[in-house]
Each structure stands twice: as structure tokens, then as C-alpha cells.
Structure 1
Amino acid sequence: MRVMLVGSGELSRELVLAFQRLGAEVVAVDRYADAPAHDVADEALVVKITDPEELTAAIARVEPAYVVVDTNAVAIDALRAAADGGTTQVVPGVYATQLSLDREGMRRLAADELGLPTAPFWFAGSVEELTAVAEHAGFPLVVKPVIGVPGQGQSVLLRPEDVEPAWQRAVAAGGRVPHNRVLAETVVEIDYAVTLLTVRTDGPAGPALHFCEPIGHRQLDGGVLESWQPQEMTVAALGAAKSVAARIVRALGGRGVFGVELLVRGDEVYFSDVSVRPYDSGLVTLRTQRLSEFELHARAVLGLPVDTIMISPGAAEVTYGGADESANTPEINPVLLAEALVVPESDVRLLGRHDGSARSRLGVALATGSDVTTARDRVRQVSAVLHRVWQP
């Protein structure tokens, strides 16, 4: 059972291990040598994964049973050719992968085709168009790149002077996938934002959906993403959230873990975005669930049974660094590491910069507790110590 993992970043390591524990042979592929997942995979390949011919040739050479996409930059034509060949399954699916690289297409599907509630939104293809949108919509205004993972390259505009910097930040977020369009949306008043991890599997009775407990999250100052599970929701809001998630995931098709991003105010739920692979806000599941988001993804890909049982409330903080901060993996001070881990029910993941991207994960602080409040307090203590490792 051979799995070809296209994309070998920091989080891909966890995915490789999840597949290997289920008996799969994993070939990790990325555009540069010594990518994080290359260290743990059974075989590592360096391939320009945005080049259709190179990626097609690599798939033909490896002959995997499954091609699993774990990157936001990939040659869709190569995936389509592999899927059409009939011997390789592409996960989460060609259509889902294609839309995950195109926030405009995803938003059109959600709002125009499925009729899901969203914040008012517009698309702009230049600074001038974005300026016109801002003049029409008013401030504050959220601007996001049309490609990339949720949160990356995002800005909140408060005044006309913010338009050009927001444009530059959004188009730069594409990295090795150039683009010149952005999504702008009105800032709606919300109580909280959640990720609803939704697992789509193929069972004896056909496709089935499984929902994890909702994950609350917020972006903190200084490049930190805080998340916690479970996020308390009203019965009506949770029902609406599951309905929105089910509709978008069924429309995307395929199988695996889908991170559906939602905005909630009272009982009202708005669709925001969706990731078609495990990602940052779901890292809290490494400690809160019997099966983490990575293990759920691996099981769903391989057609194995899943469960979304939460075993403890918990919290996580992911810290990011820019080019200067994360150019090299810092030397870990064992005294500081011990100070971080003395916090009850705590754990850490220390990561290094490998791919030269402008925004890289430095590490993850994790903690559980009898309730979310306790877990969040503990994870802040752990994260505060880790910051002294990265910024002595």
C-alpha cells in the first residue's frame, strides 16, 4: 500500500507518521531537498510539484495507490491525469484540491451555487479595483489573497491608506504561485470564529460525514494563533454550523479531513473558508481527541473506520516567524524546555524553518485541562516560555 504525499512541510511529518502506523509505505515529494517530511518518509523525492510534466512523471514512476495532496501549490493537470488513469486515487479529490487553490472559486461555490450565508464580499484584480471596493463598501474591510491557507496574507483595512499595503501583502502570500486577485469582505460583528473539522469517508453504505467538536480560534498579536476545543455553541448555532459544513463538503466531494471555517453570532452562522487537509487550527486535536486530525485524514484516505471522540478539553498556540526570525532552527535550551513542560498536562512541538517561506511555524504549545479555561491558561504559560527560546 503505497501513498505518495505531494507536499512535505512541517505538518506533513505528522501525516507521514499517521500513514506509516497504518502500514502504508509513504513517498514524500516536494520541490526542495531535506523537506521536513523527507526525514520520516520511506522515500523522498525532489520534484517541481507545480510542473505538470515533472509531477506526472513522478507519479508514473512511483505508481502509488493514493496521491495525497498536502500543499497549496500543485499542478492540477497532473492530478487529473493520475485520477483518470484509474489505478491511483487522488485525495481529497481533483475538484476539491482545485477549489482549495482558488478562494474565488470556493466562495462562488458557497455563496452563489449553494446559497450559504457569507459576509458581503467582492473580488479585485488591482489596487485601483480594491480602492473602488473600499470606497463602495466602507471600512473596516478584510482583504485576503485568493490562494493560500486561511489567515495567511490577510489584512484588516481601517482607512484608505491601508489599501495598497493590504494589496501587496495579499498578492505576496502566493509565494511560488503568482496571482493578482484578492477577496475583500465586510467585517461582520461576530461572537467568535470556529473551525468545524469534518471528516468525509466512504463506507459500505456510501459516503458519510463525521464532525469533530467545534474548535474556537483567534489570531493574537505577534504572529500567534490560539485555538481551543470545544468551543461552546448554542444548540441552534451548532446545528447550523454542521449544516453549512455538510453542504460545502458534500459539494467538494472526495474524502479526508475538511476544516470548515465559520463565523458565529448568536445562532447565526456564516461560511468563511475551507481547507481540504489538516492544518493549523486543528493542531489542538493532537491532545484533545482519540484520533488527531492527521490520523483521521489517514484513515479516511485509506478507507478505514474513524471516530471523532474528544477525550479532554484542550488548547494550542502556534507561533509563526518571519524570514529573519526563523531562518535557522534555534538551539534548544533544555532548562527552558523543562520550564515549559513543567506546566501540568502540557506538550510542545518545536519546528524549524525549511522552505524559505515568509511565514513559517516556529512551534506549537499544547495543553489539556478539566475545562477549556484551564487549558487555555496552561497553554499561554507554555507559549510564554517558548517565546524565550525563539527571542532570547
Structure 2
Amino acid sequence: MTPPIVAVIGGGQLARMMTPPATALGITLRVLVESDQASAACAAHETVVGLPTDPDAIERLLAAPRPDVVTWEHEHIPADVFEACEKAGVPARPGLEALRFAQDKIQMRARMDELGLPNPAWREVRSAADLEAFLADNGGTAVLKTARGGYDGKGVRIVSSAVEAKDWLDASANGGPRLLVEAKVPFTRELAAQVARRPSGEVRTWPVVESIQRDGVCSEVISPAPQLSAERAALAQEVAARIATELGVTGVLAVELFETADGLIINELAMRPHNSGHWTIEGSVTSQFEQHLRAVLDLPLGDTAPLAPVTVMANVLGGSRSHLEGSHAEAADAGAKVHLYGKGVRPGRKVGHVTVTGTDSEQTYARAVAAATIVRDGGAA
């Protein structure tokens, strides 16, 4: 029997971290990387250099021996790619019908409303008058977003008047990104619920985590979310599982949530492995990366039970150093597991992460942050 081939579009750290479980499962990972210096280029079993907007690169990715399935490590996939996959007879998972809700926030919000799931107040913005009317009805301050393309705080702006968004409004009126505005949610913290679904319908969820953001970028993730009630944890998992089923998602889905005094509100969706799930590599029986591969190949899904009472993942965000070394952190804390992505270092860029397991949330959190700081800044703790 020929080993399965999974083609991945996107050469970043998510594709890189799919390689170890692919190897363990006997899967060949063929990755479309933007350059031979991309994070996944030195890790994947096979690489094709090119962009998803290049038809020739997609043709080479789908060339014989044809992959069994094509999947993604980001949502920015042109419709032409799906057409090429269909022509080649290679399933694309998740498919365009599902992925569009992760690509377009307006479509996502409308679909969540249709499903009766917890959205903030929102509307599409077509003019300054639209924005001013929404601000007047929602406390005078709101969150303006581009419908497509935003991530890690990009494409998001807190506004109190249309004047503050004149550049975005003008650009949108002249063929630029569509805009939507959302009520500024008075949340107490951010949570994430991850689920995996395969085409045959099997669904599995992981423990709900707390995601700590700094300057719009995920900084740390704590699993399970400390002091989250069993009722709310179950509700978050139910919401994620329902979204995966109703939208026909294949693979891993991350549902970012706001926790408020009154309940949970959906923030955003990601239909791929996600930063909030990196903890699963050391902290779960089955990591999100292994599970994604299993799901897109329609293999039985793995156990998602935690391997420790607490797991904390701390991102390593690039600073002034041009070279990172994980051994100092591991020497200072033998329980720290360091993952470096092989990416060029620049301030604020995600260039690695550290995972620590333990029995106490506060102590484990402190250890993970200390280890990530050593990786970033060098030296001993």
C-alpha cells in the first residue's frame, strides 16, 4: 500500500509542526513554501517553492504522485486553488464552502446569527453614517475590522468616531476591503475551544484554554482555563462542535471566545491548527497537528485527554537578538520544551514557543514565561 501524501499550502511554523506526526504516521508531507528559507522548508518531506496565487506552483504541488488530500496552514487561499484541486481529483479540506467563514468575517458573523450562536452586536459598514449610527447605539466606542486578511491584531481598530477610520472608509469605498463594526465586548478574558472533525462526522474536542493577548498577539495559553466553570467549559466545547458540524469543517477548528459576566461570545474562527493549540504537542494524548492530519485523511481521531493537570504554552516573540538558542531555557528548567521555528527574528514576530507541564496553574505559568524569556533574551534565569 502506498503511503498517503498530504499536501499543505503554506510554509510557516504550522506546516513545520505537522512534520513529526506525519512521519510517525507514515504520511508524506508535501508543502508549498514561499521560499526555500521558509519555516517548513527544512522540515517537510517534500517541498514545492511558490505561492498559492501561482497556478504553476499549484500544478507542481498536485503533480504525480498525486496527493491524497490538500489542506492549509492559513486561510488566505484563492478560489482558483480549489478549482485546480477539483480538476486534479484531489479533495481540498476544509473545502471552500467551510473555509469562507474563516476567510470573511462578515460571512462568519451572518452565519453565526443564522445558527443562533452568541455574536456581539455587529453590522457591515458601507459609509461613515453607518459607523456613526452604530457607535451611537453601542456606547460610543466599537471595534472596526476589515472583513478579510486580519490576524495578530492587524485589520482591527478601536474607534470612537468615523473620522478615526476615514482612511479605511475611503479605501473600502474605492474597492478596498469591506468593513464591519462590532460592539466592544466587556470581556473578562479570552478563551479558545478547539475541535477536530473528519468527513465521516466524528468530532473530538480538547479542554478549553485561556489565551492571554499582548498588543493584539497571543502571548500565553493556559490549559485548562483556570477557574472556568464546568458548565461554561462544556458550552464552549458544544459551540465549537456545532460550528464544525454545521459548517462542514474537515480538520482542526479553533473558536476564539470572549468570556463575559453573562456568558460566552464568539470572537473569530480559524480552520486549521492554531496558536491556542500548540500546548497539545506535550500536553495532550493527540496533538492538534496529528489530529489535523488524521481528520483530513478521514482516519480515526485520536484521544484528546490531557497528559498533565496543567499545561502552559508561552510564545517566544522576537526581540533585538538575531539568533535564538533553546538550550539555555532547557538547562534552567529541565521540564521546559522549546520549539523554534527557524524564522528570521524581528520585534514582535512569533519565532518559537515553550511548553511546560505541571500541577499548579500559577507556578506552571511562571515557569513557561521565564523559559520563553530566556530563549528570547539569552542567558540563565
TM-score range, shorter chain: 0.7 to 0.9
- C-alpha contact (below 8 Å) 1:212/1:309 kept by paired residues: yes
Aligned position for 1:188: 185
- C-alpha contact (below 8 Å) 2:317/2:349 kept by paired residues: yes
Query: In structure 1, how many angstroms separate the alpha carbons of the residues matched to 2:334 and 2:194?
Result: 27
- What is the Cα deviation at residue 237 of structure 1? 1.6
Q: TM-score, normalised by structure 1?
A: 0.83
Q: Secondary structure at the match of 1:116?
A: coil
| CA offsets 1:54-99 (integer angstroms, 9 cap, x no match) | 52564245521111112232222321442365x4221122322233
Aligned position for 2:73: 70
Query: In structure 2, how many angstroms separate the alpha carbons of the residues matched to 1:22 and 1:248?
Result: 28
Q: Which amino acid aligns with 2:145?
A: K
Out of 304, 310, 327, the position equivalent to 2:306 is 310
Aligned position for 1:174: none
- C-alpha contact (below 8 Å) 2:132/2:162 kept by paired residues: no
- What is the Cα deviation at residue 357 of structure 1? 10
Out of 343, 363, 366, the position equivalent to 2:333 is 343
Query: In structure 2, how many angstroms separate the alpha carbons of the residues matched to 1:289 and 1:248?
Result: 22
Q: Which amino acid aligns with 1:347?
A: K
Query: In structure 2, how many angstroms separate the alpha carbons of the residues matched to 1:134 and 1:209?
Result: 39
Aligned position for 1:118: 119
Query: In structure 1, how many angstroms separate the alpha carbons of the residues matched to 2:323 and 2:255?
Result: 36
* 1:242 and 2:237 are equivalent in the alignment: yes
* 1:255 and 2:247 are equivalent in the alignment: no
| CA offsets 1:167-204 (integer angstroms, 9 cap, x no match) | 49x99xxxxxx9522332112222322111111124xx
Q: TM-score, normalised by structure 2?
A: 0.85
- C-alpha contact (below 8 Å) 1:3/1:68 kept by paired residues: yes
Query: In structure 2, how many angstroms separate the alpha carbons of the residues matched to 1:357 and 1:66?
Result: 34
Query: In structure 1, how many angstroms separate the alpha carbons of the residues matched to 2:155 and 2:46?
Result: 35
Query: In structure 1, how many angstroms separate the alpha carbons of the residues matched to 2:218 and 2:167?
Result: 19
Q: Secondary structure at the match of 2:198?
A: strand
* 1:288 and 2:283 are equivalent in the alignment: yes
Query: In structure 2, how many angstroms separate the alpha carbons of the residues matched to 1:166 and 1:138?
Result: 23
Query: In structure 2, how many angstroms separate the alpha carbons of the residues matched to 1:341 and 1:222?
Result: 31
- C-alpha contact (below 8 Å) 1:343/1:381 kept by paired residues: no
Q: Which amino acid aligns with 2:205?
A: F
Query: In structure 1, how many angstroms separate the alpha carbons of the residues matched to 2:212 and 2:236?
Result: 18
Q: Secondary structure at the match of 1:11?
A: helix
* 1:272 and 2:273 are equivalent in the alignment: no
1:141-160 paired onto structure 2 within 5 Å = 141-148=142-149, 151-153=152-154, 155=156, 157=158, 159-160=160-161
Query: In structure 1, how many angstroms separate the alpha carbons of the residues matched to 2:117 and 2:195?
Result: 17
Q: Which runs of 5+ in 1 are unaligned?
A: 172-177
Q: For residues 79 and 222 of structure 1, do their structure 2 counterparts lie closer, same or farther at Cα, with a shift above 3 Å needed?
A: closer
* 1:93 and 2:95 are equivalent in the alignment: yes
Q: Which amino acid aligns with 1:28?
A: V
Query: In structure 1, how many angstroms separate the alpha carbons of the residues matched to 2:374 and 2:337?
Result: 12
Q: For residues 333 and 14 of structure 1, do their structure 2 counterparts lie closer, same or farther at Cα, with a shift above 3 Å needed?
A: closer
| CA offsets 1:99-156 (integer angstroms, 9 cap, x no match) | 3221221121111x21211111123356775566445534432233322465431545
Q: Which amino acid aligns with 1:387?
A: R
Query: In structure 2, how many angstroms separate the alpha carbons of the residues matched to 1:363 and 1:125?
Result: 39
Q: Which amino acid aligns with 2:202?
A: A
Q: For residues 158 and 2 of structure 1, do their structure 2 counterparts lie closer, same or farther at Cα, with a shift above 3 Å needed?
A: closer
- C-alpha contact (below 8 Å) 2:316/2:375 kept by paired residues: no
The CA RMSD measured in Å over matched residues stands at 3.2
Query: In structure 1, how many angstroms separate the alpha carbons of the residues matched to 2:176 and 2:24?
Result: 38
Out of 211, 215, 223, the position equivalent to 1:229 is 223
Identity %: 25
* 1:24 and 2:14 are equivalent in the alignment: no
